[in-house]
Chain A
Amino acid sequence: MNPQLSRRRFIKAVIASSAAAASGTGFHSALAQDKPRGAVERLISLNVNGATRRVDVAPQEMLAHTLRYKLGLTGTKIGCNRGECGACTVQIDGITNYSCSTLTHSVRTRAVKTVEGVQAADGTLHPVQQAFIDELSPQCGFCTPGQVMSAVALLEENPKPTREEVRHAMSGNLCRCGAYDHYLNGIMRASGQES
């Protein structure tokens, strides 16, 4: 994986949503400011997990909110809602992003993949998911969807990472249970390497 690429993309997303990220307390803090109504088309199409979904999106709505509360994709978790913990990590055009800090309107022309879209069409688990099961990587599991998404993206860019590379690539995903060692084991296993 090219960490610079994802970091740059992430920073851009954060800048775009700085008003919301800075307030940091609520899902709709930014919306509390009066915005000219009708300035942005609200009923939009989103490409999520390969399907086109029509959804009503408020002008400054964050992607995590749209996914969870409008599209019913509750696998994406909101741990902090301020771009710190990574529980809301999704892929946008193959790049990991914190969906709590990504404006939904900014992904209208892009492909969004959530944890619900990682399994094969026939239901086969992604190697990362299977390895996380085999290594008993999750504890409470609240951060796990984000860990899955970061790990999947990493292995797409760097199929045989070193454990140290994995550790750095995953460092945007917090785990309060401290299951880092087991997640690292899982990712090394998914890459077909000894942990």
Chain B
Amino acid sequence: MSDYRLVGKDFTPPDVIGKVTGKAKYAEDFRVDGMVYARMLTSPMAHGKVTNIDTSAAEAMDGVIGILTADDVPEVEAPNAAILTNSPAYIGDPILAVAALDEKTAEDAIAAIKIDIEPLPFVTDPLDSLLTGGPNAREEGNVYARSSEGSGFRTIKWTKEQIDEFRAGKEPSGEFAAEWSYGDLDKGFADAKVVFEESFVTTGYAHMSMEPRTAMAYWQNGTCYVHASAQSQSFWMPGLARMLGVETKDVVLISENTGGGFGSKIGAYPIAVLPGYFSKKIGRPVQLRVTREQEYYMGSARVGFQGWLRMGFDEKGKATATDVFIIEDIGSNATGGDASSAGGAISMVYDPDAMRFRGLPVMTNTTPRGAQRGPGQNQIAAVMAPIMDKAAKALELDPLEVRKLNAANNETTVNANQKPVTSAYLKEALDMGAEMFDWTNRRNQTKRNGSKVRGLGIGQGYHSAGAKGFDGLIRITPDGKLHVHTGVGNLGTYSYASTSRAAAEILKVEWDNCEIHNGNSEKNLPWNSYQAGSVSTFAHTRTNYVAAMDALRKMKAIAADTMGGEAEDYDIDGQRVFRTDNPALAMSYGAIAARSIQLGGEYSGQTYPEDINEITARSVQNIAGTGLVGVAKDNLPQEGVIPGLACAFVEIELDLETGKYDVLDYVGIAECGTVLFPKGLAQQMKGGAVWGMGMAGLERHVYDPQNGLPANVSYHQCGIPSYLDVPSVTRTGAVDIADPQNPFGARGIGEPAMGCAVAALTSAISDALDGHIFGRTPVSSDMIVNHVAGREQSFLPLQTNNF
């Protein structure tokens, strides 16, 4: 679609300049008069009950303004993370906060508080909790299953024999909590020429966004102003209001820039409302300072998996059946959905004829978990890649061909209900990547050079990548400017800007004549999607398209009303509305906007569609009369699963003596429909590659099982990849075939960009080690050395959160 003027072209998102000059403001960069500083006291115990808090010494200190405890904030039903709690369920759980004139005093006051906690049993590995007689992470039980039919605590235990069998790689025979399937599983396995069984562990790990989630709040005339580190903008509003106990109209969220989120800041989180409650109590603006260590505790983490999988392939390499069982480490807050999403990803990426998923979500007294970039899809991507290689080897096939044969395509059906896809071209992505990477020739290279051995890997990633039903809001002012109001968050993907260009594309407005309004709910923003789940590209090219189409209809009607004829007699170009049979008869956009103000009604937002969200409606009311308003809900047709897909090819050089490996080459290919913003896409693909490399070899939660203590609360301890952990050049490409259910053909990519990378790495490590499958992420150097030396690993099979 080369006739687009903006879509598919690079541009400079307006916020980049502030980022390189230091002028970009993040939540912690704001100050207001009278602001005081709050710090938190967090639990030193993995599980317990607070029996007494003595704050007398702290309260007597000069400069201490107030103390906020769990008694001052609404109780949150367990296992959901609380704002403050008297029942801490992990080390780092916030118990109280102190506000003072300066931070030093707040810290001194916290040190002076005496707190008694009665210890309770705790657990850091789901299998230890499942074992009969093992501790439960919560007093209410050890399992918490979330489902649309109802969520609740359960206590599920397995016998020692059942645990031992599972650790030995056998099919689990213990109780589970969730199940779905499609097709005839028995027939699928009967049709298979080869069947493999593998058990696996993917250890959870912290999001560790660069910006600690510091937040500030104050009240003015009954409205709570919140400066917070938010992934989404408008989508935060209902939850933020609910948690603050006010109506949505009585909250203002300022989140101009957010220092990364990766799933940890999708909706309003409890700690973001702490300053609001504190401010209300003491009558002053409060900034809650969050440290890096606290960001580790409260900043969310990926769900861990301990699982077993059986998979069958026919003689051509087609997947005939998959049976997967996943125990999820859902941390202390019992987040939900990763395991079932992993099952869904298998049904998409490998498309077996029949499949069964069984899941068991088990709580641990470790950090709260949440969505992390490809939650579920990326864990299973890492698990599946070496199994695909094993199948290819057994069937004497090229691993690329086995992947292509099973690759998601337009006929693929997904999940338990076997829904169709909007479009899918994973085979084309694999072909493109194989050519860029020179796969066939590289397979014939010498593998071994002294202690160094080369490994080649292919990975595939998937996440659903779209949403519908949100609102678009644009405005043309009498100066001729196009104003795009967007409630998409700004966490660094630039999709708030790239999707805004959809409106400019439709209205043929020069990009430098456009202004984006975002990052502050007082800027009259529409109801927009969560800025997560790879949805914003698909969802908000649609919302800005429908708003622009609404504006276009109104502009033509105004032209006809002013210059005669019918609306369909008019067209647009050069920021003018002209009569097609007499192009000299024209009105500039500025003149149209001025006329719309005179006409009022729907033209300038005095009236608006009934089906728009209340947030959008209030914004329209505020801007009514300032120009021509285009506003609409996205009611465009949409059926089926909207896939974001990606594949990656990698070459590593692994040193058998040290267990370390270097990534020599990396090619990532995006399959996300039409490319909207090439440079932004490359950023996502390359950043996703770094994330995949971190998950494959570096990042994990480590807990001391004896005391429940986390061992890695800082960046380097967590294993965040640095410049030196990743190749200095990564190559990317895109299939660039339009999806039929988006006006511009675009879908999202953020999450598959990582899934393909971690999978390519686990595949390459296996290839370098002659097909050995660790069945674990991360694969650490010591694991490789132990394997090469024929030694036992230093941990039990299927152990997790371990050193």
- A132 CB to nearest chain B CB (Å): 5
Pairwise interchain contact A178-B716, C-beta atoms closer than 8 A: no
| B723 partner, pick from A79, A82, A119, A173, beta carbons under 8 A | A173
Residue pair B723, A142 in contact (C-beta under 8 Å): no
Whether B20 sits at the interface, judged by CB under 8 Å, is yes
Q: State whether the Cβ of A175 lies closer than 8 Å to any Cβ in chain B.
A: yes
- Would B22 and A176 count as touching, CB distance under 8 A? no
Known A-B contacts A163-B728, A176-B260, A178-B690; the reply to A140 vs B210 at CB < 8 A is yes
Indicate whether B720 reaches chain A with its CB closer than 8 angstroms: yes
**A13 touches B (CB below 8 Å):** no
List residues of chain A with CB within 8 A of the CB of B29.
68, 74
Give Cα distance in the complex from A187 to B21, angstroms. 15
* Nearest-neighbor residue (CB-CB) of B728 within chain A: A167
Q: How far is the CA of A59 from the CA of B41 in the complex (A)?
A: 25
Stretch at the interface among A19-27, A40-48, A102-110: A19-27
Cross-chain contact B210 with A180 (CB below 8 angstroms): no
User: Contact at A140–B21, with CB atoms within 8 Å?
Assistant: no
In this complex, how many residues of chain B approach chain A with their Cβ under 8 Å: the count is 65
Q: Which of B183-229 contact A (CB under 8 A)?
A: 208-212
Q: Is A122 an interface residue (CB 8 A)?
A: no
Q: Is A55 interfacial (CB 8 A cutoff)?
A: no
CA distance A140 to B19 in the complex (A): 8
Tally the A-B contacts, defined by beta carbons under 8 Å: 186
A140-B258, A142-B259 known; A178 vs B721 contact (CB < 8 Å): yes
Contact of B103 among A28, A129, A176 (CB under 8 A): A28
Which of chain B's residues 1-54 have a Cβ closer than 8 Å to chain A? 10, 12-13, 15-26, 28-29, 39
What's the Cα separation between A28 and B25 when bound, in Å?
23
Q: Which of A32, A137, A141, A182 contacts B259 (CB 8 A)?
A: A141
Q: What chain A residues lie within 8 Å of B108 (beta carbons)?
A: 32
Complex Cα spacing A173 to B688, Å? 18
The answer to whether B104 and A31 have CB atoms under 8 Å apart is: yes
A79, B683: Cβ atoms closer than 8 Å:
no
Closest beta carbon of chain A to B105's beta carbon, Å: 9
Q: Residues of B contacting A132 with CB < 8 Å?
A: 16, 19-20
- B293 (CB) vs chain A CBs: closest residue: A25
Contacts A132-B20, A176-B208, A178-B690; A139 near B493 (Cβ below 8 A): yes
Verify A28–B683 contact, CB threshold 8 A.
Answer: no
B714 within 8 A of A: yes
Q: Is the CB of B691 within 8 A of A143?
A: no
Q: Please name all residues of chain B whose beta carbon is closer than 8 Å to the beta carbon of A68 when the two chains form the complex.
A: 29
- 19 A-B residue pairs with CB within 8 Å: A24-B714, A28-B107, A77-B259, A79-B210, A79-B211, A79-B212, A79-B259, A115-B21, A115-B22, A118-B21, A132-B20, A137-B20, A140-B492, A142-B259, A145-B22, A178-B726, A182-B686, A184-B728, A184-B729
Q: Which 4 A-B pairs have the closest CB atoms?
A: A75-B22, A178-B690, A140-B492, A142-B259
Which residues on A are within 8 Å of B, measured CB to CB? 24-29, 31-32, 58, 68, 73-82, 84-85, 87, 114-116, 118-119, 125, 128-129, 132-133, 135-145, 148, 163-164, 167-168, 170-171, 173-182, 184
A31-B107, A32-B107, A177-B260 provided; 19 other pairs, C-beta below 8 A?
A25-B291, A25-B293, A74-B28, A75-B23, A77-B210, A78-B212, A79-B212, A80-B292, A84-B714, A87-B210, A138-B19, A140-B492, A144-B20, A145-B22, A167-B728, A170-B723, A176-B210, A177-B210, A178-B691
